[in-house]
C-alpha cells in the first residue's frame, strides 16, 4: 500500500465521530452571495439509493450554510450506471456555482477502468466534499436463517441480484460473492441501488447490498420486520490498511471474516488484492461533491467552507450517524486527498479486474 493510502488510513481510523475538518479558512469569501438563487445538485442515480439519501441529507444543511441561503434542489439524472449524469455535468454545467455534482464509486469505477461511455475526467472537477461510507449485503429471511446457521449451505443456491453493471460499484459485491463460491446471476441495467432494493422487496431478487445511508434508512426497517437478514459488510480500514469491522455495523461480520469461515483460510492472491484495491477506491472515498471545470477559487472556497461549517455543527455527529453512519466527511485539502485515493488504483489490480470482467461477463475494456 502506497504512502497516500497509509496517510488516508491513519486519518480515517482517528475519526471516532466520522468528521474531518481540514482545509480552507472558516470564513467564506465575501464576494460570493447566493441570495435568491437555486443550486441544482445533480445525482446521476435514481431516487432511493445511497447517493440520493446522502444528497437529500446534506441539501437543506448546505442551503443553511451557503452565503445567502440559496435553495438546494437534488436533481436525479440516472442512466448508464451514472455516466449519463456525469457526462451531462462535464459538458453542460456552467462554472457559476449553480450546478454541483455528487458522484459515487459507481461513477469512479468506469472512469478507472476506461469504460468507453465515460466522457468526463475527474481531474477537471473541483472537489468540495468527500464522504466515506460502507456497504451491507443481505438476504431474505429464509435464506438468512440458513446463512447464519452455515454459510456453506447456500453454495448451491441460485441467487438473483439487481445490478447497475459489473463495471460499477457492484463490482465489489459481485467479485466478493464469486470468491465465496456463491452462484449469483446479476440482472444488469437497473438505474440505482434503490431499484435493486425494490427488486428484493418484490421478491424479484434474493440477494442485495446497499451502501450505508440507504441500508440505515430503507433496509433496517426490513430487518426489524424480519424480512431481511444482514450477511456481511465490506468492512473498513485500520491505520495499517487492514480490513476491520465497519464502525457503523460492528455487529455484522466483514467479507474477510466470512471468507475465512467459508474457505477455512484467510483471503489472499490476485483476486483478493484486486478486490481490496477497488474496495479502497470505492468506499473510503465513496461519495464526492464537485464544482465544474472553470469554477472560481472564490466559489470553490465558499462551497468548501459551507460543507465544513455543516460538518462542524455540534449536532452533526448525532444526525449524520442516523442518516449516513459513522464515517469521515472531508473538506479542503483532505477532500482532495480522498479524491486522489478514489481515482487512483494500482495498474496490476486494474488489469486483473479487466480480465475478470471479460471472462466472467463478456465486458471488453481497453488494457
User: How does the average pLDDT of the chain come out, rounded?
Assistant: 90
Position 25 scores a pLDDT of 42
Distance CA 38, CA 164 (A): 30
Would the pLDDT of 11 be above 90? no
The gap from C-alpha 211 to its chain's centroid, in whole angstroms, comes to 6
Position 150 scores a pLDDT of 96
Position 162 scores a pLDDT of 97
- The 10s digit of each residue's pLDDT in 146-162 is 999 999 999 999 999 99
% of the chain beyond a pLDDT of 70: 92
Position 6 scores a pLDDT of 52
Please compute the mean of the pLDDT values over residues 34-56 and round it to a whole number.
93
- CATH 3.40.190.150 location in the chain: 3-132+282-347
Report residue 227 as a C-alpha cell: 424480512
- The 10s digit of each residue's pLDDT in 50-59 is 899 999 999 9
- CATH 3.40.190.10 location in the chain: 135-278
- The 10s digit of each residue's pLDDT in 78-108 is 988 799 999 999 999 999 999 999 999 889 9
- Residue 265: enclosing H or E segment and its boundaries? none
Q: What is the pTM of this model?
A: 0.81
Distance CA 219, CA 153 (A): 24
What fold characterizes domain 3-132+282-347?
A: D-Maltodextrin-Binding Protein; domain 2 (3.40.190)
Position 298 scores a pLDDT of 96
- Residue 67: enclosing H or E segment and its boundaries? none
Distance CA 31, CA 341 (A): 32
Please compute the mean of the pLDDT values over residues 314-329 and round it to a whole number.
92
Task: Domain 135-278: give its CATH code.
Answer: 3.40.190.10
Would the pLDDT of 219 be above 80? yes
If one compares 172 and 18, the residue with the highest pLDDT of the two is 172
Cβ atoms of 276 and 241 closer than 8 Å: no
Cβ atoms of 282 and 189 closer than 8 Å: no
- Residue 227: enclosing H or E segment and its boundaries? none
DSSP 162-205: EES-TTSTTHHHHHHHHHHT-EEEEEE--SSHHHHHHHHHTTS-
Position 105 scores a pLDDT of 87
Amino acid at each position: 500500500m502506497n504512502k497516500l493510502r497509509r496517510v488516508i488510513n491513519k486519518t480515517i481510523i482517528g475519526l471516532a465521530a466520522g468528521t474531518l475538518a481540514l482545509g480552507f479558512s472558516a470564513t467564506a469569501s465575501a464576494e460570493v452571495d447566493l441570495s435568491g438563487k437555486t443550486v441544482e445538485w445533480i445525482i446521476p442515480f435514481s431516487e432511493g439509493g445511497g447517493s440520493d439519501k446522502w444528497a437529500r441529507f446534506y441539501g437543506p444543511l448546505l442551503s443553511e450554510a451557503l452565503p445567502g441561503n440559496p435553495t438546494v434542489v437534488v436533481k436525479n439524472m440516472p442512466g448508464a450506471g451514472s455516466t449519463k449524469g456525469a457526462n451531462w455535468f462535464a459538458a453542460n454545467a456552467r462554472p457559476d456555482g449553480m450546478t454541483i455534482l455528487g458522484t459515487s464509486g459507481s461513477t469512479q469505477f468506469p472512469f478507472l477502468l476506461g469504460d468507453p461511455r465515460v466522457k468526463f475526467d475527474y481531474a477537471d472537477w473541483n472537489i468540495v466534499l468527500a464522504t466515506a461510507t460502507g456497504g451491507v449485503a443481505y438476504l431474505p429471511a429464509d435464506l438468512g436463517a440458513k446463512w447464519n446457521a452455515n454459510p456453506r449451505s447456500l453454495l448451491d443456491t441460485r441467487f438473483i441480484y439487481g445490478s447497475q453493471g459489473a463495471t460499477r460499484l457492484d463490482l465489489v459485491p459481485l467479485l466478493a460473492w464469486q470468491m465465496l463460491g456463491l452462484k449469483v446471476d446479476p440482472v444488469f441495467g437497473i438505474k440505482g441501488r434503490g431499484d435493486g432494493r425494490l427488486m428484493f422487496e418484490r421478491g424479484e431478487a434474493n440477494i442485495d447490498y446497499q451502501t450505508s445511508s440507504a441500508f440505515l434508512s430503507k433496509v433496517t426497517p426490513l430487518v426489524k420486520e424480519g424480512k431481511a437478514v444482514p450477511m456481511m459488510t465490506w468492512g473498513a480500514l485500520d491505520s495499517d490498511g487492514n480490513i476491520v469491522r465497519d464502525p457503523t455495523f460492528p455487529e455484522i461480520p466483514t467479507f474477510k471474516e466470512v471468507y475465512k469461515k467459508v474457505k477455512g483460510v484467510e483471503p489472499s492472491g490476485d483476486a483478493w488484492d484486486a478486490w481490496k484495491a477497488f474496495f479502497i477506491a470505492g468506499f473510503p472515498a465513496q461519495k464526492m461533491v464537485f464544482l465544474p471545470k472553470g469554477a472560481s477559487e472564490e466559489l470553490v472556497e465558499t462551497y468548501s467552507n459551507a460543507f465544513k461549517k455543516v460538518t462542524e455543527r455540534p449536532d452533526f455527529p448525532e444526525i449524520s450517524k442516523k442518516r449516513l453512519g459513522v464515517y469521515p466527511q472531508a473538506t479542503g485539502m483532505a477532500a482532495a486527498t480522498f479524491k486522489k485515493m478514489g481515482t487512483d488504483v494500482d495498474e496490476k489490480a486494474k488489469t486483473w479486474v479487466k480480465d475478470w470482467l471479460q471472462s466472467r461477463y463478456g465486458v471488453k475494456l481497453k488494457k
